[in-house]
Structure 1
């Protein structure tokens, strides 16, 4: 009897897994028709890194784990480098490099390089996804996964494209040129006629640094979590995987304090279009706070990733809030505070920003095992009461004065106690009904002192795909945001405030896609060790 019962359970589980896979496939296919924004993660920095939020004019110190979105700029000072992680690619910049995100969605990754050196490692290119780099001399599209380096020499009006693995097409004024693996091509001017394609240069210190970073990430297995989850590579080093009955394989962080709780070691920032966004200060603190769910079990917190077979969707913060400006929450001696706790497995996430039904379903079923019909019902009626599991966990709720929240101050330094009576009487919502302030957008008041010159910032570049308008300054959004605290502006509202980037030129649109100019075949390049190659000194930076 036990044998037949076990067999029946096995068949039932197999059928359920098959059903979930089919349902996820249909939802994935439906979502591919939608265009929605995505982010990159500022995953590593060394030296002074300056950050300029979209639409703003004040440069500040870059914050590790900050999500990078459309319109954001980064600048690396002398002897500084940074790394940006995306779902299927990694971008690394050398010192004295200016990089701007022109567009970042599920269908296009488009960045602008006006000075300096970057390496882009593309691990996968999904159907219909475009990777494009805009420079003063050309636009370059990546046609295959591979290892690409781009150097912009502003003083010599030159761009060098080096393809060690992969293949791409350079677009200039009314012409195009295919660059295959094993070639390094230097272009001056904008018509691609002035070019030289010698053998691959020797590896320099920047190349070797990039490859050492690759080795750190390549040793990590994506056995338990999708490799498209941004930041998954840090998990294995900083925690352990454990199988928990009912929940499957979960991840438990190693180096946290006894009374630590998720969403406590970090700060809140405001990101245009996304709303209130959590930025964790721990080196592993990206994936577990923007994907999956948190579970308190066996006297410890465990992160439960979403199902492997579903394409993961990023969320700014997977929490529920207690209080806000619409309710005077008593926190410690303060009469105005806000509190939150992490969502548990099976609990619906309701984005504060406007989304389609397909997106609403996908952002939930990709991050937790949950009934799709239930998710759809919540989408159609978001006033339904949700029973939250983690609100009952001792020390699971984090509460701070409202000023700490709005001013992007470190949460751990300002945690206060909240009474059980306050918790029971306060409303629970997935929207922090708090209007942001200018410091909320910057994330910090700390300036780095190093910024690129205006000539670098205002340099015209070529694009093949026209980017969307520039995000508006926060000052223009602020009045609208105060009318509905905590709710990001809709795409329609944002478009009314946006302006076109005057420093991009879409000349490549006139270029026929085929046939591009051919180049001799070259074998895929190996990456042996080599002595550092000398580099021309880039343009000086300015002091802020």
Structure 2
């Protein structure tokens, strides 16, 4: 659709006053990324009862739940970890910030790669107890939707399982199988499953190269940049990333759609496989006739933004009766002014790695849109197309740059009310229980884990080789919940102990159990909205002998429900952040 706007209409765009945000809480500063989608994947925000279809590059925030249908898989990138969900898995994010992370596995199979343990720890809540991931490594968790049963395998690293009474440390190469009535735990040998092998292949595929030198490892999605573009040192901007292939007429925030995602509201969802980090962090600039992304100075705690644009608003009527919505991509040195409720302190934090000051912010807000470096890349669409999440490049309205002279950007704007989101093709069973995070205990943080979290250094990924043996300190006294500093309401004086036995070396490995799980094959020819499918993986094989548990045990215990044996999981690695930020190694005068 190509419809010209009158000068008067454009001049009236965005004249609404700034709304006070003092009474509103700031939105989360961290978000994960849905980085792989195969099959039907659904999500819903906190407090919502209806599931909606999820797609590639959707942000994942606290309070959100995700569900993978039969034959589906999903991958979530966090700043310090990656989560991979196998089919029929339900997961909720209960905490995600700079201090700690916690997710709730209601049912299914989850594979977790932890690159660095955050200072407050990383926790997975299950129907049978809480699992604390104590060290960087790779972990496999399963949970049944029918009863408190499942398993926890430490493929690499160290985990602690907290059930109704005593904690249990699960070392590298060990698997805790939980089930029975009363609940019992058997510690046996751990092995890689086919799902873990798939996760390992994804992890190798996502290893970052040059990008890790210029982008904070806490930014999800930076691993994709090297495969889809190249870096060049620009005198005025430092390292700039240029995408290799873009469509004619391409501009930032033009090839994708808008989605209303609480608590931020309108969020840009880019259609490019690399389209997450460059649209929620950093700035865009057109140099040498090409668009490039400047990540800005690397910082330890980058703040996520739903879209780094200046909105032009929706307060006028087009010639055919609709009001437009327009926006301009921000350039380096231009401050982002949140179009959602946020405090001044939040605005400062979200602009931390951009060289601006309060005077610059004020001048930009009060200046006409032509003061923006990228004003000629402004994009305008009808409000109805915006609200329904239509592909922007197909709904774009033609606006000559000369007509933008008198338009001022809005500090806050009455953006369109969102239309109903596409409903999910499949949702979790209604009987799936919901387990409260606050019922557990706080994450025990070792000195090693605290140091690793402070540096956010990520080890090289070797998921099939457990880390060298480490000293295993005795578990600490049970502290308070990770989600609350308040003690539990009451605990029985002597809770019934969970029976723990240690299986012999001949215990059935997980890979053998996986053969009988009847997991259907996964289509690779045409994944719906996913990144490129991973390369073929080798058959499952046990971990090296030195990693296997060899502790003898008395008697076997009841096996978990067969429902818990129909799942499996795994995830990728992040890069090590340098002490200083080098420039790309390009010869002087070379242009991308």
Q: Assess same fold via TM > 0.5.
A: yes
Q: CA deviation at 1:139?
A: 1.1
* Equivalent in 193, 198, 208 of residue 209 of structure 1: 198
- 1:3 corresponds to: none
Aligned to 2:167: 176
Q: What corresponds to 2:383 in structure 1?
A: 402
Query: What do the CA deviations read for 1:441-497 (whole angstroms, capped 9, x no partner)?
Result: x3xx2532x22111125467774269xxxxxxxxxxxxxxxxxxxxxxxxxxxxxxx
Match of 2:399 in 1: 418
Judge conservation of contact 1:172–1:508 (CA < 8 Å) in 2: no
Aligned to 1:38: 30
Which position in structure 2 is the counterpart of 1:496? Answer: none
- Aligned equivalents of 2:36, 2:48: Cα separation in 1: 23
How many Å separate the matches in 2 of 1:91 and 1:387?
Answer: 44
Q: How does 1:434-449 map to 2 (within 5 A)?
A: 434-439=415-420, 442=421, 445-448=422-425
In structure 2, what is the Cα distance between the partners aligned to 1:74 and 1:275? Answer: 18
- In structure 1, the residue matched to 2:252 is 262
Check whether the contact 1:43–1:85 (CA below 8 A) recurs between aligned residues: yes
Count of aligned pairs: 444
Structure 1 residues 388 and 424, CA, compared in 2 at 3 Å: closer, same or farther? closer
TM-score, with normalisation over the residues of structure 1? 0.73
Aligned to 1:132: 123
Contact 1:188 1:194 in 2 (8 A): yes
Tell me, yes or no, if structure 1 residue 298 matches structure 2 residue 279.
Answer: no
Q: Structure 1 residues 197 and 521 mapped into 2: Cα distance closer, same or farther (>3 Å)?
A: closer
2: CA distance between counterparts of 1:275 and 1:60? 15
**Greater strand percent: which structure?**
1
The answer to whether the Cα contact below 8 Å between 2:114 and 2:137 also exists between their aligned partners in 1 is yes
Matched, 1:63 2:55: yes
Q: Indicate the residue corresponding to 1:90 in structure 2.
A: 82
Aligned twin of 1:163: 154
Bigger share in helix: 1
Unaligned runs of 5+ residues in structure 2 are 1-25, 443-486, 504-509, 519-561, 567-592
> Is 1:321 paired with 2:311?
yes
Residue 169 to residue 54, structure 1, CA distance change in 2 (3 Å): same
Q: Is the 8 A contact 1:110 1:134 kept in 2?
A: yes
Structure 1 residue 71 displacement after superposition: 2.2
1:250 lines up with 2:240 in the alignment: yes
Shift of the alpha carbon at 1:294?
A: 0.3
- Residue 208 of structure 2 contacts residue 224 of structure 2 at CA under 8 Å; is this kept in 1? no
For 1:361 and 1:511, the matched residues in 2 are separated by 47
SS of the residue aligned with 2:366? Answer: coil
CA positional deviation for 1:59: 2.1
How do 1:363-512 residues align onto structure 2 when only pairs under 5 Å count?
363-366=350-353, 368=354, 370-371=355-356, 374-375=357-358, 385=366, 391=372, 393=374, 396-420=377-401, 422-439=403-420, 442=421, 445-448=422-425, 450-456=426-432, 458=434, 463-464=439-440
Per the alignment, residue 478 of structure 1 pairs with none
**Conserved? CA contact 1:154–1:539, under 8 Å:** yes
Instruction: Give, in whole Å, the separation in 1 of the partners of 2:502 and 2:295.
Output: 43
Q: Distance in 2 between matches of 1:68 and 1:246?
A: 34
Higher relative contact order (CA 8 A, sep 6+): 2
Question: Does the 8 A contact of 2:158 with 2:172 survive in 1?
Answer: yes
Alignment partner of 2:348 out of 349, 352, 361: 361
Whether contact under 8 Å (2:255, 2:392) holds in the other structure is yes
- In structure 2, relative to structure 1, the CA distance for the partners of 1:414 and 1:391 (3 Å cut) is farther
For the Cα contact (< 8 Å) 2:230–2:241, is it kept in 1?
A: yes
CA distance, structure 1, for counterparts of residue 430 and residue 247 of structure 2: 45
* 1:231–1:287 CA contact under 8 A, matched in 2: yes
Deviations 1:118-175 (Å, cap 9, x if unpaired)?
Answer: 0110101232x33111111101122211111101133463121111122222222243
Identify if the C-alpha distance between structure 1 residues 179 and 347 changes in structure 2 by more than 3 Å, giving closer, same or farther.
Answer: same
Distance 1:422 1:395, change over 3 A: closer
Check the 8 A contact 1:344/1:389 in 2, yes or no. no
1:109 aligns with 2:126: no
Change (3 A) 1:156 1:354: closer
- Any idea what SS the aligned residue of 1:207 has? helix
Partners of 2:434 and 2:501 in 1: how far apart?
36
* RMSD, matched Cα: 3.6
Going from structure 1 to structure 2, the CA distance change for 1:535 and 1:399 (only over 3 Å counts) comes to: farther
- TM-score, length of structure 2 as denominator length: 0.68
| Residues 509-528 of structure 1 aligned to structure 2 (within 5 Å) | none
| Cross-structure match for 1:99 | 91
C-alpha distance in 2, partners of 1:461/1:258? Answer: 49
Following superposition, the deviation at residue 321 of structure 1 comes to 1.1
